[in-house]
Chains A and B, each alone.
Chain A
Amino acid sequence: MRVRRPAGTAPGARTPRPVLAATLVVASLAGCGVLPALPGPVPSDVVPTDAAPSAAPTLDPAGAEGLSPDGFDAVQRMAVRIRNVGCSGLSTGSGFAVDEHTLITNRHVVADSDTLQVSTYDGRDLEVAAAGSTSLADLALVRTADPLPSHPTLADADPRPGDEVTVVGYPEGGRLTITAGEVIGPTTDPLHENLGEVLLTDAPVEPGSSGSAALDADGRVIGVVYAKTSDDRSLLVPVSTLERVLDDAEGFRALPPCARSSEAPSAPPSEIPSPG
């Protein structure tokens, strides 16, 4: 039997030259593609001009809360010290601003006064224009001729038991003091000075703290300190009562002038008509 070789595959057949040339050209071009490109010029400035806002330096959140026009925070700026110069003595209390010319304190702080003197956290004296108290609660309203430094907002509702409370005032008529505690809950007024329930907290207060603002964690007014209990708890007029009283401006009556005690003996007649 005879086997025949396929055509064109005869051993020793040569590669055609055009194919070889084409192969060389293709290989050369492929080799050029593998070669690295020349580098471009180095840019003169690589600083991005449209930096993201978050990359800008920001204030330290821990320190930002202390920023104010003079270094005092709003809690301190709204507090005032009230000196009640009465006809028979002197007493002090606390208060806080509710607008630029109005401050709130207790009725018993301003009662029996001949003169009321108001001073701010930084020792400035403010002239008092008028004062009035309400019979519905142990609250009084004082109008000042001079503007008050700062005033807080009132909370929308009374606090719940367990809520934080901060009291800012002048205990014992001394240094401006901030104390903190928690709301214990509503209770009946043991002094029968207020209509409705009052709030009991464990924030420490002292005589002279009367009229202090009680604030929640957001710095909103939740009540007004008016007394302390025998077990060192504080009693607040709740903000709901405060708002009700503020809404009824007619309920505030001007303070009656104090009655001076008659320590001086009455003068007897100095002359007696002679007989005859």
Chain B
Amino acid sequence: MASPSAWPPPPDPAPPRPESAPARTRGRRTAVVVLSVLLAGSLGVGAYLWLTTTRWQEHSASWEDEARGYAGRVATLEAELRATDAELVAAREQLATATARITDLANEKAQLGDENVASQQYLDYQRRVSEAAGVVTSALGACVDGQTQLIGYLEDRDSYDAADVDRFAADVETLCRQASKADDQLQQELRRELDQ
């Protein structure tokens, strides 16, 4: 059995190509330029970022001042609103008290008006009763006078016409009956008033 062997046989390594000196110089120069550009760019970007950071800090500070100013105004307005609400509640309570008082006063006035009218009606009634009592008294007095007069006529009957004396006696009787009736009406009215 034949021993294994690499097939095909590896090529012979090529001999390194020697670089020339100008090429190496050009490469270094290019690298320096590129690195310089990169350094300059990095510095520019860094400066820009520093400026940006500074500006944003100032911007943020300004906004914070603005926000604190508005927060202060909000706090002031809230305090004013609470005070106004308290005043409104107090005003409503005062209004409710005032309307209740007005209603009470209106009621008191109405009750006094009722009492005044009732008193006036009672005074009118008393006046009418007094007038009626005067009329009854007068009628009863006339009755008594008539009867006295009739007694005189009867004591001296011969001096008068009998028919006239009888007519006078009948008139006196009528008068006394009417006076008695008026007195009964008055007493009845007074009893009715006492019962009420």
- Which residues of A are in contact with B by a Cβ distance under 8 Å? 1, 17, 20, 24, 28, 31-32, 35-40, 42, 46-47, 63, 66, 70-72, 76, 81, 83, 85, 89-90, 92, 117, 119-123, 170, 173-176, 263-276
Contact = CB atoms under 8 A, between A and B. Distances in A.
B66 interface: yes
A39 to B, nearest CB: 4
Interface string B77-102: 00000000000000010011011001
Contact of B160 (A70, A120, A275): A275
Contacts of A1: 8
A72 B98 CA distance: 10
- What does DSSP make chain A's interface, helix, strand, loop or mixed? loop
A121 to B, nearest CB: 6
Interface residues of B, number: 70
Nearest to B67: A46
A265 B106 contact: no
Interface of B: 8, 30, 34, 37-38, 41, 45, 48-49, 51-52, 55-56, 58-59, 62-63, 66, 70, 92, 95-96, 98-99, 102-107, 109-111, 113-114, 117-118, 121, 125, 128-129, 131-132, 135-136, 138-139, 142, 146, 149, 153, 160-161, 164-165, 167-168, 171-172, 175, 178-179, 181-186, 189, 192
Contacts of A28: 41
Contact of B52 (A38, A71, A120, A266): A38
- What does DSSP make chain B's interface, helix, strand, loop or mixed? helix
A266 B138 contact: no
A123 B51 contact: no
Given A24-B34, A28-B41, A36-B52, A275 B161 contact: yes
A276 B132 contact: no
A263 B175 CA distance: 20
Contacts of B132: 263-265
Given A90-B121, A175-B103, A175-B107, A269 B175 contact: yes
A275 B168 contact: yes
Contacts of A36: 49, 52, 56
28 contacts: A36-B52, A39-B56, A39-B59, A40-B59, A42-B63, A71-B98, A83-B113, A83-B117, A90-B118, A122-B102, A123-B110, A174-B111, A176-B103, A176-B106, A263-B125, A263-B128, A264-B128, A265-B135, A267-B135, A268-B179, A269-B175, A269-B178, A272-B142, A272-B168, A272-B171, A275-B160, A275-B164, A276-B161
